[in-house]
Structure 1
């Protein structure tokens, strides 16, 4: 078994690269089956968030998995290779533990990643691409994340993306009460953002979504209204703050749409936070006057607030993780020895059955049972000790000394 973790994240690749290798949750099952069916990949799980796309694999050829990642997204492998990482065995296990514990996140200690990883594992289980190795890895990963959360203050003073969006809006506008806020999408991230902005009591809240029912369900929680995403061009100019996070594979807020909105607003500033990967807003929108456009990467500085306290907790968490990684690697090394142990036992059992059959036939012929058992025990002893005895007798020099020490250890003799 060969465990690898590979992919890209916010520390190795900008959002302009990450968005090209992101997976929509609805396509993950199909992608996993494709990966394991046509590549030398025995097991696989894919974690795809706004900050990372990672493949956790049981494979002998991690390069083939990276090539698949590029080809699946219709990219040349060379176009993403400078941004990718490949972690093997011990490093892959430690990486999984750190990701789940929030130590590898843009927001140190943020809790959302654990739920995202659990969802990724659930999808892989349903797709049938998890085996013994990855199942054990993620089972241990979630246990370690829970231990870190309950025994350290890693989540204390953590500024989420949602909270960072509010702070940034306040820096630009000051008081948010006179402003109107539009949320595009109705997923978990938008829900978190809506809760944070609603606490500032803005003048109006609206949710734009592909389906009106789902948008209305979220909007009503905050005494807001809902509009169809298709009607967004007609309403965009009404809002001062726009927060967007959808699963669209293509931008849904284009340059022309925003240009028209700015003109209708008579150049009153509009603040846009694009939390989606791939991005919901065309990057060129950020070049417009009176438009403040921020992506997930742009919020990095704000989310570092409170970092000092969390870094102390992170040091404690790293210690916990190092111990748990060693435990997992011991289990993994034990698993790797299973075929040899099984073969050794099978060999010994064949010898035992053969000699027992001979002994039973001798007893059936009327021979003395006591003498038959004595012969049986001597024969088994000689056969079981023949291989180590022969190896020891034929070895010379330092090989003989090493073999003798090993045999003493195995048989616990003086």
Structure 2
């Protein structure tokens, strides 16, 4: 069984490429069904497995399928899966290829462990990715694309993440993306407490950002969301902290955008919500007072051309990623400890995976043994029914089982030659060595 991780992330691709490959939550289950069908066609596996993880920083496919043993089989498996991803997201595979990493077997396992522990994140040690990975696994389970191999991989992944969190200080010195959004805003405005803040979206990332901004007690906090009720829930929660809040519809943005000094956006929209013309109008109404815009969405919520406007300070998720690369030295000891734990757990998982490859052979040997036993027992019963001496029947039963048990090995040894015969002579004594239980 081949375990394969294929994807792109913030290390290998710019945001312009990541947003083209990203899946919205609604896309993932249909995509998983399509991916399973694709894997079935290119492998001998009747039950291929798949999971899709798609965040602002990465889109990754985790697959498990029989891909054959030859190098050509493995190349076909890899290339066809890259082509599937490109076709599914409507982009040219040649444009995607330079940014893709393909990790087979132990490399895929190690990568999953590192991702869950936050070692592959923009913010080393951050915890949000673990929740995102758990959601991806839950979605795969609901879609019926999570089988024995990936289920075991991810259960071990979550155990490793818990172990690393519990035994190292990997997250102790991290600056979260939400905290970075506040700090970048404070580069432009001396005090967030004197500003009006607008949050677009009401998901987990926006909720985290809102919590950090709320600590600065801004003059007003507004939440604009596609579903007004969801936006009202977040606004009400912030109001409980003593803030002045309101909720807006997305359709209100063109006429209300100019009222806000800081705008933080993170939605699941596949197209920009805020365009150049909308921001130009807002700046004109603000009489060119500066405005900070933080776009945490992938695909992006704010058109890239907005960054060219003189009075707009637009930051993307990659900009925040660069900002949070502080305190790295103080985390290196914890990173080293985490990597050591991961290496041990990768070895353990690969031992389990290799052991799974012997399961069909073990099942076949047990079945053959049961068939031989059933045959000899049935013959012994018939002899006893005829009144044969029980001791003689037992001797015959033992002799028959012994002969059948040794037949295959003796036959192979007698007909083997050269290196094959020498190999059998080394192996067989160990296979038939008597084991005596302690009394």
Partner of 1:95: 111
Partner of 2:268: 247
- How much does 1:270 deviate? 1.1
Partner of residue 231 from structure 2, selected from 191, 195, 215: 215
Residue deviations 1:362-404 (CA, integer Å, cap 9, x gap): 2212222211221221121122112222222333344333222
Is 2:54 aligned against 1:48?
Answer: yes
Aligned length: 414
Task: Tell me which moved more, 240-249 or 204-213.
Answer: 204-213
Is 2:408 aligned against 1:392?
Answer: no
Partner of 2:63: 57
Partner of residue 119 from structure 1, selected from 126, 135, 143: 135
Partner of 1:381: 402
Task: Tell me which moved more, 188-197 or 300-309.
Answer: 300-309
Using the alignment, how far apart are the partners of 1:136 and 1:212 within structure 2? 40
SS at match of 2:21: coil
- How much does 1:413 deviate? 6.8
Partner of 1:229: 250
If the length of structure 2 is used for normalisation, what is the TM-score?
A: 0.91
Partner of 2:74: none
Using the alignment, how far apart are the partners of 1:214 and 1:356 within structure 2? 70
SS at match of 2:361: helix
- How much does 1:7 deviate? 0.9
SS at match of 1:5: strand
Partner of residue 207 from structure 2, selected from 183, 191, 206: 191
Show structure 1 runs of 4+ deviating over 4 A.
none
Unaligned runs of 5+ in 2: 41-46, 68-76
Partner of 1:164: 180
Partner of 1:18: 18
- How much does 1:302 deviate? 1.6
Question: Contact (CA 8 Å) 1:124, 1:130: kept in 2 or not?
Answer: yes
Using the alignment, how far apart are the partners of 1:364 and 1:326 within structure 2? 56
Residue deviations 1:324-350 (CA, integer Å, cap 9, x gap): 111111111111110011111112221
Partner of 2:157: 141
Partner of 1:409: 430
SS at match of 2:224: strand
Is 2:334 aligned against 1:328?
Answer: no
Is 2:369 aligned against 1:353?
Answer: no
Partner of 2:43: none
Partner of residue 69 from structure 1, selected from 79, 85, 104: 85
Using the alignment, how far apart are the partners of 2:48 and 2:20 within structure 1? 25
Residue deviations 1:46-102 (CA, integer Å, cap 9, x gap): 111101111111122243332221111122222211111111111111111111111
SS at match of 2:305: helix
RMSD over aligned Cα, in angstroms? 1.6
Using the alignment, how far apart are the partners of 2:192 and 2:260 within structure 1? 12
Partner of residue 267 from structure 1, selected from 277, 283, 288: 288
Using the alignment, how far apart are the partners of 1:21 and 1:245 within structure 2? 17
Unaligned runs of 5+ in 1: none
Partner of 1:37: 37
Using the alignment, how far apart are the partners of 2:182 and 2:64 within structure 1? 42
Residue deviations 1:106-160 (CA, integer Å, cap 9, x gap): 1100000111111111111111111111111111111111111011101101111
Using the alignment, how far apart are the partners of 1:350 and 1:63 within structure 2? 44
